[in-house]
Amino acid sequence: MTINDIAELAGVSISTVSKIINGKSSGIKNETREHVLQIVKEYHYRPYNFIKHNPDTKTFLLGLLLTGNKKYNSFQYGFLTEAEKRGYQVQLCFSSSFKSREKDIAALCNNRADAIICQPVSDGNDSELAVLKKTHIPFVLLDCEEPQSGIAYNYQDAGYTAASKLVSSGHTRICCVFDKSEKNEWEIAAGVERCLFDNHCVYTEYKDLYEALYIHGCSAFVCCGRETALNVYEYAVKHKFRIPHDISLIYIDDKDCIGDFPPVSSIALDLSDFGSYVCNAVINKTEKLSSIITPYVENYTYNDRNSIDYPVHFSSKRIIVVGGIHTDVLLYVKEYPQIGESIPAHSMSVLPGGKGINQAVGAAKLGAKVSLIGKVGRDFDSNMLLNVLHENGVDTSAVHIDTENPTGKAYIHVQEDGESGIVLYSGANLSVTADTIEQSGQLFSDAAFCLLQTEIPMCAVKKAVEIARKNNVKIMLKPSNIEKIDEALLPLIDYFIPNKKELHQLCSHGQTVEEKAAWFLKKGVKTVIVTLGSEGCYVAGCDFELHLAAAPFVPVDTTGAADAFISALAVYLLKEIPLSQALKYASCAAGFSTTRTGVVPSLIDTATLEYYIHKMNLKEC
């Protein structure tokens, strides 16, 4: 193919073809110039004789210099496809350093590229800019918003769009998870931050899921990339955070990377279309069809995978548990040993325990947002207990480490009939002070119930009552391991829940359960609930009383039944279930807990509890 052939095909003179190819087409009609160029592209004509002598000669070659970022695979495809459509070839080079970038630019100069599209290898691109200017080849910088010489994908707007989805769902504290070494992800994070600033919300950079949730109070996450979202999703599932019930999640990635599983909502970026747009813009500029490159604008595609919901605190408040945390050592015996008697234990178990941990896990398994306040030692037992709490979705940000005292222990003798007796070593529980509670006072701001036990010092109990009252938090108190109670506390207690033995020990007035409960009501307690084991419970308020039968379960181990009862009662009252009905849920939860060994393994979940309530016809009884 010669210049004569091109002239003949185009129906113009050889001189006209030469002027157009060599960039000296002023005075030639645009229609004629475009027609000649189209034929040149179609027949891949390259005027080699002129290349050596005329730097303005068109070669229909574009240089595409990238850094190797995997997110540009789709961009490359769009760019190369569009170049082929318009009759151009592309020399694609990957550079990770300025030195290798210099070599690539030199190679493009030798091949007389018509234009160079360059993604700078670093933020400080002055050196690259200087080298490109020396070539006298038209160039465009990618990821750069400089007028005339730059074009960038608007990652900030993508971040802004993703954050807007969360803000519109009610989230005000949002965390962005991104790789700080990736400039594009920095831009996305900047867009998220700008959106939150515009909406007077709180922005947090991701370090750790628990820190984001419990120190910064974040309820939603924007992830840069599907892989990052998968990591957060897996971490959340492992630590028993439910999506979107506990946290909302959305990620931003190229449309070719968007997946259906796991079901995480996403903003899809059309980087292939961006590549096509850049290619067209550059060719139009080199062919003098347009003198400027306008910014790229995209309407992002939102893929809803139901991983965004209202923040959990919109739908339910927190339950705070303040109490003992220890390890249970269970010894299974025929009957309790008498003084001076040694008896055999036919088996033994070591399990997590303490009324604090029992009630916290019990409420969490029933779907509540739970925070536990207490102390453990710096020992093996504490690691085991904290793992159990994490696995069950309990907030442990207020579980402190006592470096001087070991984790508490309870030695429990379980008889063949399921009844049990406990010898308690308090350990680190005794170091829970009023200051310990004060340090975690912010947790009470969105709480509905505070579950208290007296396995910790009374000064801590009183401080918890004080802070709870200031925040209009209802108080449930389980008296345990004490011989008397400060009567000044009683008017502040909403639900006082002793067992029969504790009731008789703490009240010397009257003879019957009913008479003793009436005394506590007279002292200011709002509601008294006396748990009676296999006989059910007695409930009394200022203007009502009722006896509730125990749920029909065959007991194996009654340890912790009261904790299962209290945690279920709090959860269902939180759901605004009437007290009479919530008590039935609590009784069923307590009965179920006696059918298995150990407390934590026997605590019931929502689905199982609802099944037994329906099976036993307790809902409408």
Asked if residue 168 and residue 126 are part of one domain, the reply reads no
Q: How many helices (H) and strands (E) does the chain have?
A: 22, 24
**How big is the CA angle at 381 (ends 375 and 384), to the nearest 5 degrees?**
100
Lay out the sheet containing 139-142: strands in order across. 89-94, 61-66, 115-118, 139-142, 150-151
Q: Which residues contact 472 (CB under 8 A, 6 or more apart)?
A: none
pLDDT in tens, 68-116: 766 678 999 999 999 999 999 999 998 888 888 888 888 888 788 999 9
Domain boundary among 273, 304, 325: 273
Is 137 a domain residue?
A: yes
Is 132 a domain residue?
A: yes
The total of other beta-carbon atoms located within 10 Å of residue 111's CB is 14
CATH of the domain at 329: 3.40.1190.20
pTM listed for this prediction: 0.55
Asked if residue 465 and residue 431 are part of one domain, the reply reads yes
pLDDT in tens, 358-392: 999 999 998 888 999 999 999 999 999 998 888 88
Asked if residue 129 and residue 163 are part of one domain, the reply reads no
The total of other beta-carbon atoms located within 10 Å of residue 582's CB is 19
**Total number of domains constituting the chain:** 4
**pLDDT value of residue 52:** 44
Would you place residue 123 in the very low, low, confident or very high pLDDT band (cuts 50, 70, 90)?
low
| Domain enclosing residue 215, as ranges | 155-273
Is 381 a domain residue?
A: yes
Asked if residue 206 and residue 102 are part of one domain, the reply reads no
Asked if residue 161 and residue 67 are part of one domain, the reply reads no
Is 297 a domain residue?
A: no
Asked if residue 183 and residue 128 are part of one domain, the reply reads no
Would you place residue 54 in the very low, low, confident or very high pLDDT band (cuts 50, 70, 90)?
low
Please, are residues 287 and 420 in contact by the beta-carbon 8 Å criterion? Answer: no
**Residue 183, helix vs strand vs coil:** helix
Judged by average pLDDT, the poorest of 66-75, 151-160, 462-471, 499-508 is: 66-75
- 595 burial via Cβ count (<10 Å: 0-12, 13-18, 19+): middle
DSSP bridge pairs for 538: 530, 547
What is the overall mean pLDDT for the chain?
87
Is 304 a domain residue?
A: no
Residue that the structure tokens 């002598």 belong to = 53
Q: How far is CA 505 from CA 27, 164, 178, 457, 481, in A?
A: 110, 58, 59, 19, 11
